[in-house]
Amino acid sequence: GPGILTRILLNAGIRVVAVESNLAFLPNLQSLENSLDGQLRVIYGDFFRLDPLVTGKVKPPALCSDELFETMGVAAVPWRADVPVKVFGILPQRKERNTLWRLLFSLYECSSIYKYGRVELNVFISEKEYKVLTAKPGEVKAYQALSVLWQIGCEIQLLHMEPWSSFITNLKNGALAIPKSTCLPNDHLCLVRLTPRQNLFTGGLKTTNSSTFVFMVKQCFAKPRSRLTDRLNSWSLDSGGKLLRELEIPKSAEMRDLYPEDYRRLFEALQNSSMFTDTWFHDEVLESIRKINL
């Protein structure tokens, strides 16, 4: 964009690496870079097209996260360490949902930017997607698989709401396109902080099985009004009733009735069950990841 966030960060004395995908904005940014004695580094690329699943060399504006972090001089830190990098930006509105899923897969697999630790995202997203990310059971139109997975994976903090009227919202020259919404409010862009949880990979949830967890939640919300007992039966888990009693979940509970932490407890219990195998998930998990990263 025109660099409003970049200038605010620079004025605060912060060292900034600006990743810009629009060639029209590069000359001014590069001129600013040359005048700041190392406080600003400008890179041509698109942060939201990091690490696409393509063969051969990645072509700009797509980027490779390893090259980006090497350029920034940032080394990987353990997951439970402090946040190594803070990212500020605006999600591309025409691919907003897809971008949120791509980031989610990377988060749970500790791949792409999350290979370097708990990278914090401070991003403008549409109000309707913010409502989805923070929805709870009972909010029928908003509560989705994205709600469960982002709430388990990150602390979500609303920093600011700005009316769409503050932005250029036509489709020319790369301006923002207001996402259509009939079911949820969408009058603002929301600046949201997404900080990965230090305790995400504890208990039975690990980077090695996290893709299976993501797919399990997605499959559960494919039919959100179905009962959990029916879903367990479809997974050939004969002891489903016993499992629900141990988890203190009513047998009549529908998939949309479970809180995010209930899904995590269910997954960990399934991992410990000798009667459940997730090997049949494998091919569908890989296909889901492949499609969302192209």
Residue 123 belongs to a domain with what CATH number?
A: 3.40.50.150
Same domain as 96, residue 48:
no
The more confident residue out of 167 and 80 is: 80
Strand 154-163 to 188-196 pairing:
antiparallel
Q: Which residues pair with 163 in a beta bridge?
A: 188
- Taking the C-alpha atoms of residue 247 and residue 273, their distance in angstroms, rounded to an integer, is 13
76 contact partners, CB below 8 Å, separation of at least 6: 69, 84, 115, 116, 117
Same domain as 197, residue 135:
yes
Strand 16-20 to 154-163 pairing:
unpaired
Give the pLDDT confidence score for residue 236 in this predicted structure. Answer: 60
Give the pLDDT confidence score for residue 144 in this predicted structure. Answer: 96
Question: What are the phi and psi torsion angles at 230 (to 5°)?
Answer: -65, -40
Same domain as 117, residue 185:
yes
Same domain as 132, residue 96:
yes
For the record, the structure tokens of 66 come out as 């390893």
Give the pLDDT confidence score for residue 254 in this predicted structure. Answer: 94
User: Does residue 46 have a known ligand-binding role?
Assistant: yes
Averaged pLDDT of the chain: 88
Contacts 24+ apart (CB under 8 A), 227-234: 227/251, 227/252, 227/253, 227/254, 227/255, 228/253, 228/254, 228/255, 228/258, 228/266, 231/255
pLDDT for 237 beyond 70: no
Q: Which residues constitute the domain of residue 218?
A: 209-292
Give the pLDDT confidence score for residue 281 in this predicted structure. Answer: 58
Same domain as 254, residue 181:
no
Same domain as 278, residue 232:
yes
Give the pLDDT confidence score for residue 251 in this predicted structure. Answer: 87
For the record, the structure tokens of 182 come out as 């009939």
Give the pLDDT confidence score for residue 261 in this predicted structure. Answer: 97
Instruction: Please give the biggest Cα pair distance in the chain.
Output: 68
Same domain as 91, residue 196:
yes
198 contact partners, CB below 8 Å, separation of at least 6: 79, 80, 118
Of 158, 179, 202, which one is at a domain's C-terminal end?
202
Give the pLDDT confidence score for residue 129 in this predicted structure. Answer: 96
Q: Which secondary-structure segment (H or E) carries 103?
A: helix 96-109
Of 43, 74, 105, which one is at a domain's C-terminal end?
74
Same domain as 103, residue 178:
yes
Q: How confident is the model at residue 271 (pLDDT cuts 50, 70, 90)?
A: confident
pLDDT for 168 beyond 90: no
User: Does residue 37 have a known ligand-binding role?
Assistant: no
208 contact partners, CB below 8 Å, separation of at least 6: none
Number of domains in the chain: 3
Tokens 């996402």 — which residue?
179
pLDDT for 1 beyond 70: no
- Taking the C-alpha atoms of residue 156 and residue 55, their distance in angstroms, rounded to an integer, is 34
Q: How confident is the model at residue 165 (pLDDT cuts 50, 70, 90)?
A: confident
Give the pLDDT confidence score for residue 277 in this predicted structure. Answer: 60
pLDDT for 275 beyond 80: no
Same domain as 191, residue 260:
no
CA nearest to 114, candidates 83, 89, 90, 92: 83
Q: How many CB atoms lie within 10 A of CB 72?
A: 16
Give pTM, 2 decimals: 0.89
Of 144, 173, 202, which one is at a domain's C-terminal end?
202
**Edge-to-edge strand order for the sheet containing 188-196?**
86-90, 120-126, 188-196, 154-163
Give the pLDDT confidence score for residue 286 in this predicted structure. Answer: 54
pLDDT for 188 beyond 80: yes
Q: Give me the percent of the chain exceeding a pLDDT of 70.
A: 88
User: Does residue 1 have a known ligand-binding role?
Assistant: yes
Supply the angle between the helices 260-271 and 240-247 in degrees, to the nearest 10.
Answer: 130
